[in-house]
Structure formats: structure tokens, C-alpha cells
Structure 1
Amino acid sequence: MLLAKTLRSSTFRLALIAIAAFGLIVVAIMAYVYFGTIAYVESRVGDAGDHSGFTAMIELAMAAIAVLMLVLAGLAAVLVTRRTVGRIEEINATSRAIMLSGLDRRIPLRGSHDEWDRVAENLNQMLDRIETLMGEVKQVSDNVAHDLRTPLTRMRGRLEKAYHHERNGEADAGLIGDTIADLDAVLGMFASITRISEIETRARRSAFRVLDLAEIAEEVVELYDAAAEQVATRLSLAGDREVAITGDRDLLFDAIANLVDNAIKHGRAGGQVTVTCRSTDSGPVIEIADDGAGIPADQRDHVFKRFYRLEQSRYTPGNGLGLSLVAAVAGLHGAGIALHDNAPGLTVRLSFPATS
């Protein structure tokens, strides 16, 4: 079966064309050598001797060489093409299995570390990435369905209750207000999802310009100062007074605001939240530190996923999209995110590339 596919493959046809072209060149060279040799012998010996034996020997040698080269070239073409077709068939077979059964299959590697192994490794890595993305899509879909169920159920309950009771202006106004609030929460969730997707597709790089990160952080601190006072939290700004950065001002403001808002919500009541901006040799850095309960080390890799919420924060306001937006903004700006123990509390560090 494999031999039949080898003989029908386009690679084999190309090999035959190459062999034919090479053969023509070899024939031309051999003809030149043959006739040149005969002419040289005749010029030296002349007509005095019989050259038929010598000529026959040269002709036989050249014919043998031509047949041998033809056989070797054909054999090499079949072997090389068979190997190529074999690897392609492995990829095709795995592709068919994936289409039939799912993304759990991978292309086998032969350990030769040649170009076919590299192609297989790249395809396997692509399959790993697709499987991860499909898992994330399923998780997001499940979380969206779960988070939408509660507000939609509340809205339906209110409307059904109002439908079965007599009209009451004051009660109806309260019902409408509560329903609008739930609808705003649902619409806000979808707006956040859309914005994160927009950021992840790099659709916002057109707004990049040179900015002062410390100035943006100062505006965020001023905005959340009243919210911090309500829970007796001291919110302060530290570090360098000017930190140059290239980026989107609105997105950076939103990312820092989300981190500060989380630090205030999950920090210790009456505690301290500090926003620090610094210019380092490797680039601008901003840190948001609180003294709350922090995040367990085994969950720090998950908190930036969409809708992911820690167990202790499930009963606080929010939809689990804030840190996902921070991760999207960081990715757009080429920044790294690191979570560190603040003993007690948590420090979130965004490290941006140096401004060129």
C-alpha cells in the first residue's frame, strides 16, 4: 500500500523529472568523453591498428555505468520518496483520528530530530494550544451560563410576581429599578468580555504613545481614595515621580484601577494599600501591594483566567473578569505579571519593556 502511494505521489514524479534532467546531463558528458577518447586514440595511432576492441570496451563500460547510475538513482528516488510519503501518511492518519475522536491524539515522533520531526513537534504544540483554548472556551461558556443564571432568574421572578399582582406605583418602580440593575450587571459582563477579546486581538495598539506611568497611577489613587476611606484603608502612592512608558493610556488606567480595586476589596480592613512606580534598567515597573489574606501559591496561575474566583471572594461583588482584563492589557503591552507574597497580603507586579 505504501509502495503504491509512493509511486503515485507527486514527490516521486518530481524525483523522476530530476533524475531525467540529471541523466541527460550525464549522457551528454559521457558522449563527450566517448567521442573525445576515440578521436584522441585515432589521432595518436591513426589507421594502423584495429580499434574495434578498444571501442567496444569503452562502449560496454559506459553502458554499464549508465545502467548502474539509472538503477541507483531510481532506487534512491523510491527510498527517499517512500520515507517522505510515510511521514506524510502518519500526519494524515493522526489528522483523521483527531477529526473522528478528538484532540487527544498526537503525531508520533521518530526521534531522528530531522525536519519531519520538527514539523511533527510544531503540529503537536499547535494541537496542545488548540486543546487548551477549547478547554478555556468551554470553561468560559460554563461560567457565563452559571453567572447569568442568577440575575436572569431574579429578573424573571420579579416580573412574574408583578404580573400576578395588582399594579402599585411604588412597588413597580422598585421592581423596575432592581431589574435595570441586574440588566446592567449582565450587560457589563458582556462588555467586559468584548473588551478583553478586543485587547487580546491587538486591536488597540493604534492608541500607543509615550506616557507617564506615575501620573496614571496617581490618577487611579485619587479616584479610589474615597473607596479606601470607606473601609478605613490607607491608600498611598510611592516610588519615582516620573516613569516613562509607551502604551494606551485608557487601558493602563483600567488595568491599574482593577488591581487597586481588588487590593482594597480583599485587603485587611483598616490596612494599607501601596501603589509603587519605578524606572528600572529593564523597564518601567508598577507594584500594587496590600496586607490582606493574599492568594494561595497553587492558585496564582489561575486567577487571570476569565470568571475565575477564589473561594473566599465568591460572595463579594464582581464577575471574575477584572484580572483577565489586566492580563490582556499586560499582554498587549508586552508586560510580565508576577504575584508575590507580601507577608501578609499580596504584591502584584507589572514589568513593562524598556521604552525605546
Structure 2
Amino acid sequence: MLLAKTLRSSTFRLALIAIGTFGLIVSAIFAYVYWSTVAYVRSESDRAIMAEQANLREAFAHSGRDGLVALIGQRIADRSFAGHVYMLAGPDAAVLAGNLGQWPSGANEPGWTEFRARSLPSNPLVRGVTERLANGDRLLVGRDIGDLDGFMARITTAGIAVAALIVLLAAVASIGVTRRTVGRIESINATSRAIMLSGLDQRIPLHGSHDEWDRVAENLNLMLDRIQTLMGDVKQVSDNIAHDLRTPLTRMRGRLEKAYHAQRSGEADAALIGDTIADLDTVLAMFASLTRISEIETRARRGAFRTVNLVEIAGEVVELYDAAAERDTTRLDLAGDGEVLMTGDRDLLFDAIANLVDNAIKHGGAGGRVSVTCCNSEEGAVIAVADNGPGIPADQHDRVFKRFYRLEQSRYTPGNGLGLSLVAAVASLHGGRIELHDNAPGLRVRLCFPAAERKA
């Protein structure tokens, strides 16, 4: 099954194309080397033949036919000239000297020629040059090139064997690599099918090789973890929305049903309408908060960014909540630097700080203290809101930023669990971060933003 998929894979086809291209390149290189070697060896052989021809011509010029015949006889008798072929023939084609029995056919015209010397042992292939001397005689000087042909045949055989071996090794390597690639892809596909059938609990197995396939598998597993987390968050949000909507909707239905069966009364009907409107406002506010958080998270509000002073915004929030703090006998104050500049959306920053101050007043308890501090630091622009209430357990710090998440001690206080989610979204939109710290007692929330660039 895996072999069939390997042979059908695009990777294998690409490997075949690469092997074919590589084979053509190797063949071209081999052909170049072969013909270059042949040309070089033949040129060296031809140079030696021409040098010998010049020597014989010089002997003829000094000593005539007799001197040339004598020199040819010496050459034939000399072992160092073994493999050389000589022939001197008269105008009537009669053999005057040499080691050939007759003048070779096809060598009647002066110039280069190749022929089989059938009168010599082993019937060698001879390459030679012929010329006509001044007295009408014909002279042939050549060499046995059978060794050259054998040498070239061995080169050809070796080249073909090497090329075949290279192609074979390339084919085996390509099949092995393709098989491994297809195997890893099939592992990913199998996990994907299992996820579609059984859910997000499956993960792609790692081979421990730390190669690119393991890195792809790790990234896909991280993506699956993230998707699983998001799906869990969606389920939690859906459950919380259902839980938080059930109470006001149940109250509204109960009031309407009671009014439906009761006698009409102007004052009672007005009270019923007022309470129902209040519950509907609560539901609508919840959906408005969700819409606002989604709008912030999609970065749709960056068009209103400008340089703002956090101290001024925090001062307006403190002034707004001063009456609520006095009602709960809570001391609310603002401290820190006189100017803390940053680039952002003034309205969103106001809402974020207002949510933190509102939470601090509600959860800090009567007779407590809420302090708002703005300062410039190496981290940038920082605003902190601290209270001396019960605080948030350390193991709950990451969870409180989820939508509708509420601590057990906060279940019966007004709110819908969206405040810190909105604050976190605003911080992320401005490139900042939100931190929760123990205020011993109480909670200290820090918002850290990049400082605004100061003009020179």
C-alpha cells in the first residue's frame, strides 16, 4: 500500500525528473570527456606519424630511393618502432620496401587513411598518411591504433558502468526519500482522519528525529492544542451566556405570566414594565459588551489612535467613581507622575481603566482603599489599580480574562464576567499587557503600554 502511494506521489515523479536531468548531465559530461580523450590521443598519434613521415622524406631528399629503402628496413628491424607500418611502392605499385604485402586499397590519394593490415599478424587497424614523392614513388607511414580503440572501449565501458551505478543509486535514494516523505505525510493524513472521526484529542506522532517533518508535526500539534482550547472557550462562553441569560429571562417570564393572570392595575403594570426593561437592559448590555470586545480584538478601532495622557484619563475615571466610592465608604485616590504619554484610543482606555476601578470598588469591600497610580518606567507608560479586598488566587489569574468567567466569591455580586476580558482586549490592541499581582491583601492590576514617541 505504501509502495503504491510512493510510486504515485508527486515527490517520486519529481525525483524521476531529477534523475533523468542528472543522467543527461552525466552523459553529456562523459561524452565530452570521451571525445576530448579520443581527439587528444589521435592528435598525439597523428603528430608522431607526421614526425616519422618528415624523417623519411628527409632521408629521401639526401639519399634518394636507396637511402629511403635502407631507412625503412632499419625502422622495421628496430623493436622500438614496433607497431609502425611502412610501405614504399613504385609508380607501377610494385612494393619496394615495407612491412605490408601490398598497397592498401582506398589509399590511392595522398592524405590520411585508415585500413585493416591483413598481411600483418592480428590484422590490426592502421591509421596512416600517404604521399607521392618527387620520383613518382608512393610512401605510406602509419601506426597500429588497435590499442587506442581498446583503450577507448575500456573508457566507454567504465563510463557506462559508472553512469548506470550513479543512476541506480540515485533511483534507490529517491525511492527511499520519497517513501519516507510519503510515510510522514500519510501519518499526518491518518491523524487528520482520526480527528475528523473522533475529535480533537488525537495528535500527530513525533519520530524524535528533530527534522523538518518533526517540526511540522509539532506546529500542527500546537495548532490542534490551540483549536482545542478555543473550542473549549467557545463552549464555556456558550454555557455562561445560557446561564447568565436564563435568570433575567426567567424573571421576565414569571412577571409577565403573573401579570397575565392578575387584574389590570396601572401602578402594577408600570412597575412590571420598568422591571422588565431593566432586565432587558442587562441582557442588551451583555451583548453590547461582547460586540465591543470582538470589535477591539479585530483591530477595528486603531483609526482613533493619537497621543493621550493617561493621567488625565485616570483623573476623569476617579472623578466619575468618586461618588460610588464614598457610598461604599471606600477611599479612592490618584497618584504618580504628572504626565504619562502614550498612543492610543482615548475612549477605549477610559473604559478599560473604568472597568478596573469599578471592580476594585465592588470587590474591595466597604471601608477599603482603591489607589490608581500612573507613572513612566523603562517598560513604557504604566497605570496600576490596587485594592485591599480578598484578591484573586494565583491559580486563577489566567482564567479571569476569559469571557463570563467569575470567581466563586463574585457569583452573587453585580456583573457579567466581561470586564477583565474587555481590559485585556484593549491592552492587546495597544500593544500592551495586563498583569495581576498580590497586593497583600488585595489585588494590584498593572497595565503596561509602549510610551509615546516624544517630538524633538
User: TM-score, normalized by length of structure 1?
Assistant: 0.98
Question: d(CA) in 1 for partners of 2:451 and 2:162?
Answer: 66
Give the Å deviation of 1:333. 1.4
Residue correspondences, number: 356
Are 1:4 and 2:4 an aligned pair?
yes
| Paired position in structure 1 for 2:379 | 282
Q: Which segment drifts farther, 139-148 or 49-58?
A: 49-58
Q: Distance in 2 between matches of 1:86 and 1:65?
A: 31
In 1: Cα distance, 2:163 partner to 2:440 partner: 82
* Partner SS state of residue 374, structure 2: strand
Shift of 1:318: 0.7
Choose the corresponding residue for 1:171, options 242, 250, 268: 268
Q: Which residue of 1 aligns with 2:209?
A: 112
RMSD: 1.0
Task: Please report how far the alpha carbon of residue 310 of structure 1 lies from its aligned counterpart in structure 2 after TM superposition.
Answer: 1.3
Matches within 5 A, 1:1-356: 1-46=1-46, 47=127, 48-49=143-144, 50=146, 51-356=148-453
- Taking the aligned partners of 2:209 and 2:274, their CA distance within structure 1 comes to 68
Contact 1:240 1:278 in 2 (8 A): yes
**Structure 1 counterpart of 2:287, which letter?**
F
Higher strand share: 2
Contact 1:274 1:289 in 2 (8 A): yes
Q: Secondary structure at the match of 1:237?
A: strand
- Report deviation, 1:200: 1.3
Q: Structure 2: how far apart are the matches of 1:343 and 1:31?
A: 86
Distance in 2 (CA, whole Å) between partners of 1:85 and 1:230 is: 71
Q: Percent identity?
A: 77
Deviations 1:177-205 (A, max 9, x none): 00000000001111111111111121112
Partner Cα distance (1:33, 1:299) in 2: 76
SS at match of 1:303: helix
**Inter-partner Cα distance in structure 1 for 2:265 and 2:365:** 44
- Where 2:370 maps in the other structure, the secondary structure is strand
Alpha-carbon distance between aligned partners in 1 of 2:424 and 2:226, rounded to the nearest angstrom: 18
The answer as to whether partners of 1:281 and 1:354 remain within 8 angstroms in 2 is no
- TM-score, structure 2 length as denominator? 0.77
Give the aligned partner of residue 131 of structure 2: none
Deviation at 1:166, TM superposition (A): 2.0
| SS of match in other structure, 1:215 | helix
Which amino acid counterpart does residue 390 of structure 2 have in structure 1?
A
Other structure's SS at 1:320 match:
coil
Residue by residue over 1:15-59, the C-alpha shift from the partner in whole angstroms, topping out at 9 and shown as x without a partner, is 111111121111111101111111111111243121221121111
Q: Deviations over 1:158-178 (max 9, x none)?
A: 111111122111110000000
Q: Is the 8 A contact 1:103 1:127 kept in 2?
A: yes
Letter in 1 for 2:211: D
Greater share of helix residues, 1 or 2? 1
Structure 2 counterpart of 1:214, which letter? V
SS of the aligned residue for 1:236 comes to strand
Structure 2: runs of 5 or more not aligned: 47-126, 128-142
Of structures 1 and 2, the larger Rg is shown by 2
SS of 1:19 mapped into structure 2: helix
Q: Is the 8 Å Cα contact of residues 236 and 275 (structure 1) preserved in structure 2?
A: yes
Q: Look up the SS of the partner of 2:259 in the other structure.
A: helix
Q: Give the match's secondary structure for 2:406.
A: coil
Distance between the aligned counterparts of 1:280 and 1:141, measured in 2? Answer: 40
The residue identity in structure 1 corresponding to 2:18 is A
Work out whether residues 338 and 348 of structure 1, in 8 Å CA contact, stay in contact via their aligned partners in 2.
yes
What is the rounded CA distance, in whole Å, between the counterparts of 1:44 and 1:310 in structure 2? 98
1-side partners of 2:160 and 2:166: how far apart? 10
Higher relative contact order (CA closer than 8 Å, sequence separation 6+): 1
* Counterpart AA for 1:45: S
Q: What letter corresponds to residue 231 of structure 1 in structure 2?
A: D
Q: Which amino acid aligns with 1:184?
A: D
Does the Cα contact within 8 Å between 1:308 and 1:320 map onto a contact in 2? yes
More displaced 10-residue stretch of structure 1: 179-188 or 266-275: 266-275
Deviations 1:295-348 (A, max 9, x none): 122222211111111111111111111111111111111222111111221111
CA distance in 1, matches of 2:397, 2:26: 68
